[in-house]
Structure 1
Amino acid sequence: MKFVDEETKSQLFFEKHGDGRHKLMVIHGYGMDHRSMEWAVQMALGDQDNVQIIYVDLPGMGKSTDVELSLNADKVVDILLRLLDYIADGDSTVDLLGFSYGGYLVQGMLSKASERIGQFMLLAPAYYGDFSQRSLPEQVNFDLEITDPIHTQEYGDHYLQLTGIPSLNGYSKFAENVQVGFNDANNEYLDVYSKTGYVFKDEHRVHHTLVDNKGIIVLSMADHIVGYKDILSAASNYPETDYILLRNAGHIIHVDVADKVVQIIQSFFNY
């Protein structure tokens, strides 16, 4: 399905699962598409029939290819909020789940329109858009015996840049569900956006907005892409949020420790 944003003329592709009254919008990470999250959320959903899941492809990613090069993080947040209103279809609120850069955008959405949002969940969210401001742990040096067969895989090196627990099983999940989005992305758009649009214009305001929605934030101590300390330091701005800190996972936590993350998502459905 496609949502045409009248203000920017951007077209966002989204996929809907279920027809329940409880609505959840899922927002993926940078350069990926909705498939990177769909498999894990659907595993968590099981046979529940009271939930409606909306998987969004962000501008320039997945099937949302018809975009203007002038978009930035603030405009994308506004587009997502208009999509949220369209999805709500008269209901009071929609829940949000954001991974990585999707989690960054969810923070922007909460800072602008928390009253239109129900509960939220952030998986390994970016807190600072500027990489140089992030407090990051050192990347784990993996045992060559473990990684050698992965290096021979087509996307093995990319997987090893993001994982915290390398395995051939994890690589298979990554290649099938995450890498496919990177392969389909509009690289011209991403190149421009990463240089001119990636960071909120007023990130300080986003970081200092009190958010009293109920939420769950899941972090990894070995996440060398977005880190975990920065958003923990802002916990006072999220007084109704529970934090879960995982020890042995990298940035792609839903791949590295899939069983744990699926259980956490299941708990979120019943939060």
Structure 2
Amino acid sequence: MPERTSVRLNHVERGAGTPVLALHGWGPDHRLVLGCLEPVFADRTGYRRLYPDLPGMGKTPAPASFSSSDDLLAAVRDFVDDTIGDVPFLLVGESYGGYLARALTRSRPGQVLGLALICPVGTKLEHAERTVPEHQVLRPDPALLDSLDDRLAELVRDNVVVHTPETVRRFREEILTGVDLADAEAISRIRLRWELTEDPEGGAPFDRPTLVLTGRQDGAVGYLDQFALLPHYPRATFAAVDVAGHNLQIDQPGLFNALMWNWLDRVTAES
């Protein structure tokens, strides 16, 4: 059995029933995935949602011994052992969290009932190697941006495709608050060894219900590199959503919810 890590992940839990583990992306904390998933489960009972902070992010520390993505993945595996055990569970990963989720699926294919990836890192881990479009603001609101402080206005302009008071609120509360908590030294150290030792798609194809959500205006991870993942996930629904950037769940919440509900229905039908 692999040696346990020295870190326990801070986490928030909601509901009861089939476990749903949700992993946020690089820099923010659990509030990103909590904010986008809780509306999905608002009218669905029977799910125990688990939202951990990854090491170095949110309220989970990353000791000096943590220096790679392998260390983060090991901490997530320990979290599964401690909070879920050997019970089958659903797995959701956003951005970099999708990279870890795919690796976790490889190591526990019989335990993962279904996999949902939200704007995940695709086949190219490093940004310079990715095929990405330019970020575009397709629904601007200049007056709204003028009402914000300079830092928030710039971040919204660079990260949100649809500018409304609601998208600004969600970006500030679900994403920016977590980014401001991140341990800059720790994530810089881990970032130097970002690539996992084992390729997440290096094992057998994952043949359970999968969802891959991407944004056509996502200037961070794009949508073409994720399409190349599909042979490994033969049961995947793939969506490249227009008027959506890297925060697709904020730009297009209605479509996001509908596609997530469809994924849950597919998982339920096979469970």
Asked if TM exceeds 0.5, the reply is yes
Q: Is the CA contact 1:11–1:67 (under 8 Å) kept in the aligned structure 2?
A: no
State the percentage of identical aligned residues: 20
2:79 maps to 1:87: no
Q: 2:155 maps to which residue?
A: 158
Aligned residues: 261
Query: How does 1:69-84 map onto structure 2 within 5 Å?
Result: 70-84=66-80
Distance 2:259 2:103 in 1: 23
Q: Is the CA contact 2:9–2:53 (under 8 Å) kept in the aligned structure 1?
A: yes
Q: Is the CA contact 2:99–2:200 (under 8 Å) kept in the aligned structure 1?
A: no
Q: 2:179 maps to which residue?
A: 182
Q: Deviations over 1:148-188 (max 9, x none)?
A: 53155231211222222223321111112111101111111
Alpha-carbon spacing, 1:247–1:47, altered in 2? closer, same or farther (3 Å): closer
Q: Which amino acid aligns with 1:212?
A: D
5+ long unaligned stretches in structure 1:
none
Query: How does 1:1-271 map onto structure 2 within 5 Å?
Result: 7-20=4-17, 22-68=18-64, 70-91=66-87, 93-127=88-122, 128-140=124-136, 146-147=141-142, 149-150=144-145, 152-154=147-149, 155-194=152-191, 196-202=192-198, 205-209=199-203, 210-271=205-266
Give the structure-2-normalised TM-score.
0.88
Give the structure-1-normalised TM-score.
0.88
- Runs of 4+ in structure 1 displaced over 4 angstroms? none
5+ long unaligned stretches in structure 2:
267-271
Q: Is the CA contact 2:62–2:186 (under 8 Å) kept in the aligned structure 1?
A: no
Q: Is the CA contact 2:215–2:241 (under 8 Å) kept in the aligned structure 1?
A: yes
Stretch deviating more after TM superposition (100-109 or 63-72): 63-72
Q: Is the CA contact 1:10–1:68 (under 8 Å) kept in the aligned structure 2?
A: no
How much is the aligned-residue C-alpha RMSD, in angstroms?
2.1
Q: Is the CA contact 1:150–1:168 (under 8 Å) kept in the aligned structure 2?
A: no
Partner secondary structure for residue 63 of structure 1: coil
